[in-house]
Amino acid sequence: MFGRMHLQHQVVLSICLVHLIALTLTTAILVINARDAVRLEVNSGAKSARALVLATLGYTLQETAPSEVLPRLAETLVAPRHVHIALVDARRGLLPLREVDEAGPANVVPDWFVRLATPEFREIRIPVGANGNRYGYVSITMAPGNEIAEVWHNVAGIFWIVFVSAVVSALILFWLVNRTLRPLDALRAALARLRDGKHSVRLGRSSSADLAPIFQGFDDLSDALEAAEADRTRLNRRIVELGDAERRTIAMELHDEFGPCLFGLKVKASAVARAAERLEDQDLAQDAVAIQSIVAQIQASNSRLLTTLRPMAIGQLPLVDALLDLFQTFRKNHPDVEWRVDLPQTLPDTPEIVDLTVYRFFQEGVTNALRHGRPGRITASLFRQQDADAGPLLRLVVEDNGLGMTGGMSDDTTGGRGLAAMRDRIDAVGGQLNIGPAEGGGTRLVSGVPLLSAPDSALELRAVS
Ligand SMILES: Nc1ncnc2c1ncn2[C@@H]1O[C@H](COP(=O)(O)OP(=O)(O)OP(=O)(O)O)[C@@H](O)[C@H]1O
Ligand SMILES: [Mg+2]
Tell me: pLDDT of 438 over 70: yes
Alpha carbon distance 346, 174 (integer Å): 61
Edge-first strand listing for the sheet containing 391-400: 338-342, 377-387, 391-400, 443-450, 432-437
Report, as an integer, the average pLDDT of 134-162.
Answer: 85
pLDDT score at 401: 94
Which range, 74-88, 358-372, 439-453, is most confident? 358-372
Tell me: pLDDT of 155 over 90: no
Q: Is the residue at 268 inside a domain?
A: no
**Tally of structural domains, the chain:** 2
Which range, 66-80, 93-107, 316-330, is most confident? 316-330
CA 348 to mean position of chain CA atoms: 42
Q: Is the residue at 270 inside a domain?
A: no
pLDDT score at 369: 95
Alpha carbon distance 143, 145 (integer Å): 6
**pLDDT tens-digit series, residues 370-384:** 999 999 999 999 999
Identify the H or E element spanning 136: strand 133-142
Ligand number nearest CA of 409 is 1
The CATH number linked to 353 is: 3.30.565.10
Alpha carbon distance 352, 460 (integer Å): 16
Ligand 2 centroid distance, CA of 56 (Å): 122
Tell me: pLDDT of 101 over 70: no
Q: Is the residue at 50 inside a domain?
A: yes
**Under a CB-based contact definition with an 8 Å cutoff, are residues 446 and 362 in contact?**
no
Q: Which residue has the higher pLDDT, 105 or 346?
A: 346
**Residues written for the chain:** 465
pLDDT score at 460: 41
**Which residue's C-alpha comes closest to atom 13 of ligand 1?**
413
Tell me: pLDDT of 35 over 70: yes
Neighbours of 192 (CB within 10 A): 11
**Under a CB-based contact definition with an 8 Å cutoff, are residues 343 and 320 in contact?**
yes
Using the 3D structure, point to which of 172, 190, 214 is the last residue of a domain.
Answer: 172
CA torsion, ordered 208, 209, 214, 220, to nearest 10 deg = 100
Q: Is the residue at 301 inside a domain?
A: no
**Under a CB-based contact definition with an 8 Å cutoff, are residues 41 and 146 in contact?**
no
Per-residue burial over 154-180, b if 16 or more Cβ lie within 10 Å, else e, is: ebeeeeeebeeebeeebeebbeebeee
Q: Is 414 exposed, middle or buried (0-12, 13-18, 19+ CB in 10 A)?
A: exposed
Report, as an integer, the average pLDDT of 435-454.
Answer: 88
Tell me: pLDDT of 458 over 50: no
* Distances from the Cα of 197 to the Cα of 81, 192, 204, 231, 465, angstroms: 83, 9, 19, 15, 6
Q: Is the residue at 228 inside a domain?
A: no
Tell me: pLDDT of 416 over 80: no
**pLDDT tens-digit series, residues 58-86:** 888 888 888 888 888 888 888 777 888 88
pLDDT score at 100: 61
**Under a CB-based contact definition with an 8 Å cutoff, are residues 98 and 77 in contact?**
yes
pLDDT band at 407 (very low <50, low <70, confident <90, very high): low
pLDDT score at 314: 80
pLDDT score at 114: 85
Q: For residue 359, what are the contacts with CB-CB under 8 A and spacing of at least 6?
A: 311, 314, 319, 322, 323, 326
Tell me: pLDDT of 287 over 80: yes
* DSSP 3-state of 412: coil
Q: At 78, phi and psi to the nearest 5?
A: -125, 120
Q: Is the residue at 404 inside a domain?
A: yes
Least confident interval from 148-152, 276-280, 344-348, 436-440: 148-152
Tell me: pLDDT of 90 over 50: yes
Ligand number nearest CA of 372 is 1
**pLDDT tens-digit series, residues 166-222:** 888 888 888 888 888 788 888 999 999 999 888 889 988 887 787 889 999 999 999
pLDDT score at 463: 37
Report, as an integer, the average pLDDT of 11-30.
Answer: 84
pLDDT score at 118: 84
Alpha carbon distance 249, 255 (integer Å): 10
Domain of 436 in residue numbering reads as: 318-465
**DSSP per-residue letters across 87-122:** EEETTTEEEP-B------------HHHHHHHPPP--
Q: Is the pTM of this model over 0.95?
A: no
Report, as an integer, the average pLDDT of 146-166.
Answer: 85
Report, as an integer, the average pLDDT of 318-323.
Answer: 92
Alpha carbon distance 415, 401 (integer Å): 21
Q: Is 120 left (phi over 0), alpha (psi -120 to 50) or beta?
A: beta
Which range, 71-80, 205-214, 247-256, 326-335, is most confident? 326-335
**Which residue's C-alpha comes closest to atom 12 of ligand 1?**
413
- Nearest of 190, 227, 232, 194 to residue 430 by alpha carbon: 232
Ligand 2 centroid distance, CA of 419 (Å): 6
Identify the H or E element spanning 427: helix 418-428
Q: At 380, phi and psi to the nearest 5?
A: -135, 130
Using the 3D structure, point to which of 172, 199, 232 is the last residue of a domain.
Answer: 172
Report, as an integer, the average pLDDT of 125-153.
Answer: 85
**Under a CB-based contact definition with an 8 Å cutoff, are residues 306 and 251 in contact?**
yes
Binding-site residues, ligand 1, Cβ < 6 A: 364, 368-369, 371-373, 400, 402-405, 413, 415-420, 443
Q: Classify the C-alpha dihedral 306-308-310-314 as positive or negative.
A: positive
**Under a CB-based contact definition with an 8 Å cutoff, are residues 106 and 153 in contact?**
no
pLDDT score at 433: 94
Pocket residue to mutate for ligand 1, from 417, 419, 434, most atoms within 8 A of Cβ: 419
Q: Is the residue at 182 inside a domain?
A: no
pLDDT score at 178: 83
Provide, rounded to the nearest whole percent, the portion of the chain with pLDDT above 70: 93
Q: Is the residue at 312 inside a domain?
A: no
Ligand number nearest CA of 367 is 2
Tell me: pLDDT of 434 over 90: yes
Average pLDDT value over all residues in the chain: 85
Provide, rounded to the nearest whole percent, the portion of the chain with pLDDT above 90: 33
**Which residue's C-alpha comes closest to atom 23 of ligand 1?**
416
Using the 3D structure, point to which of 150, 172, 194 is the last residue of a domain.
Answer: 172
Alpha carbon distance 342, 397 (integer Å): 10
